[in-house]
């Protein structure tokens, strides 16, 4: 089954989302403090659920690159990471890349917190560009 | 994991599913001791995960709050700095305006002085010519020596008048040139404003 990509442009308070099996790009980039986190993240979680339940898909490497996210987004990010962890536990090759801007110790430490709660390969990557 | 029935609860679907499951276990009467033990084990694992998630989210939340507070403080500082710069600019503007006004006045004063100088020279030459060609001839014909001396004294009157009127004429001329400069400045300002409004 070929899964349709989920692509959402960034806005002032939501990140750019690109989940595209065809190009093997899976990324969440920008700021995340939507007025209604449930409304924004439900399609994303549904997409990941469909991806992991689809037996035709291989491994996945997901890039997270936030400048800021609010607490409810933190919960949804955790859910996405748990999905990836569960998929990794089935034997699929999964990896997470957590990007943080240089000198942004808050985002680095948030990545370290998430990394500590998972066993899936989790890489912390410093970036120097701005979005 | 199955799709949630209530989309508003999607963030807590795992937790809700576990809650429903263990509620069912507690309400069930036909589970064996081993099944209860297995359920308790699973409950303990789920609770451990939930506690870990709570700690993680609290820590992340605190960190994000700190970042937001830092950003707010920076904005506050920048806002105060901008206000200070604005106040300095306003003071500088006032000083600049005063300097321009003084320059305008000095320029008008110079113009007035030049005008007065030329005016006085012309008047002096005119009075001399009048005395030389008309008054002296008239006096030589009709007046005695004493009367000629008196006539000489009278001839000084126009010159004295010119000297006494110098200052008032200079003041009037200076004010005229200042008004002219202010009108030119106002015209220039309105032309610039029209240009900006048009663009």
ipTM for the whole complex = 0.76
Per-residue model confidence (pLDDT) at position B8: 57
Residues of A contacting chain B (CB within 8 angstroms): 37-38, 41-42, 45-46, 49, 68-72, 74-76, 78-79, 82, 86, 106-107, 109-110, 113-114, 116-117
Which residues, including other chains, have CB under 8 Å from residue B138's CB and lie 6 or more apart? Answer: none
* Residue B5 DSSP code: S
Cβ <8 Å between A110 and B63: yes
Q: Give the model confidence (pLDDT) of B116-163 as tens digits.
A: 888 888 888 887 777 777 766 776 776 677 777 777 777 777 777 877
**B64:A68 CB<8 A:** yes
Query: If residue B124 lies in a helix (H) or strand (E), which one and from where to where?
Result: helix B33-130
Average pLDDT over residues B75-95: 93
Q: Which residue of A has its CA nearest to B13?
A: A79
Report CB contact under 8 Å: B57, A110.
no
| Per-position b or e across A15-43, b if 16+ CB within 10 A of its CB | bbbbbebeeeebbbbbbbbbeebeebbbe
Give the Cα separation of B195 and B198 in Å (integer).
5
Give the residue from chain B lying closest to A71, CA to CA: B61
Residues of chain A with pLDDT under 70: 1-2, 130-131
Q: Is A19 helix (H, G, I), strand (E, B) or coil?
A: strand
Q: Please report where in the chains the tokens 């943080």 appear, as a residue.
A: A100
Structure confidence at residue B158 (pLDDT) = 76
- For residue A12, give how far its alpha carbon lies from the nearest alpha carbon of chain B (Å): 15
CA distance B67 to A104: 9
Q: Which residues of B touch A (CB under 8 A)?
A: 1, 3, 7-8, 10-11, 13-14, 52-53, 56-57, 59-61, 63-64, 66-68
Phi, psi values for residue A99, rounded to 5°: -95, 140
């Amino acid at each position: 089954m070929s899964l349709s990509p989920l692509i959402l442009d960034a806005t002032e308070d939501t990140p750019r989302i690109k989940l595209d099996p065809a190009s093997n790009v899976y990324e969440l980039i920008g700021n995340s403090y939507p007025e209604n986190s449930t409304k924004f993240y439900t399609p994303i979680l549904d997409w990941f659920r469909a991806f992991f339940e689809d037996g035709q898909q291989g491994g996945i490497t997901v890039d997270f690159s936030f400048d800021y996210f609010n607490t409810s987004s933190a919960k949804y990010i955790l859910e996405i990471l748990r999905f990836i962890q569960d998929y990794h536990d089935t034997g699929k090759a999964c990896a997470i890349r957590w990007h943080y801007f240089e000198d942004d110790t808050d985002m680095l430490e948030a990545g370290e917190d998430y990394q500590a709660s998972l066993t899936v390969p989790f890489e912390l990557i410093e970036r120097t560009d701005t979005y | 994991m199955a799709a949630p029935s209530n989309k508003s609860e999607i963030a807590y679907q795992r937790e809700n599913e576990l809650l429903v499951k263990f509620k069912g276990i507690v309400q069930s009467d036909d589970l064996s001791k081993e099944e209860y033990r297995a359920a308790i084990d699973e409950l303990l694992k789920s609770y451990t995960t939930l506690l870990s998630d709570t700690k993680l989210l609290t820590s992340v939340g605190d960190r994000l709050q700190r970042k937001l507070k830092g950003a707010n403080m920076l904005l506050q500082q920048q806002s105060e700095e901008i206000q200070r710069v604005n106040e300095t600019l306003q003071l500088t503007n006032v000083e600049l305006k005063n300097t321009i006004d003084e320059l305008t006045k000095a320029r008008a004063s110079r113009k007035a002085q030049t005008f007065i100088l030329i005016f006085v020279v012309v008047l002096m030459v005119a009075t001399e010519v009048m005395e030389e060609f008309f008054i002296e001839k008239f006096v030589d014909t009709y007046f005695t020596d004493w009367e000629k001396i008196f006539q000489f004294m009278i001839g000084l009157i126009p010159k004295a008048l010119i000297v006494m009127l110098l200052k008032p004429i200079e003041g009037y001329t200076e004010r005229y040139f200042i008004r002219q400069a202010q009108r030119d400045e106002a015209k220039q300002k309105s032309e610039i404003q029209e240009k900006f409004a048009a663009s």
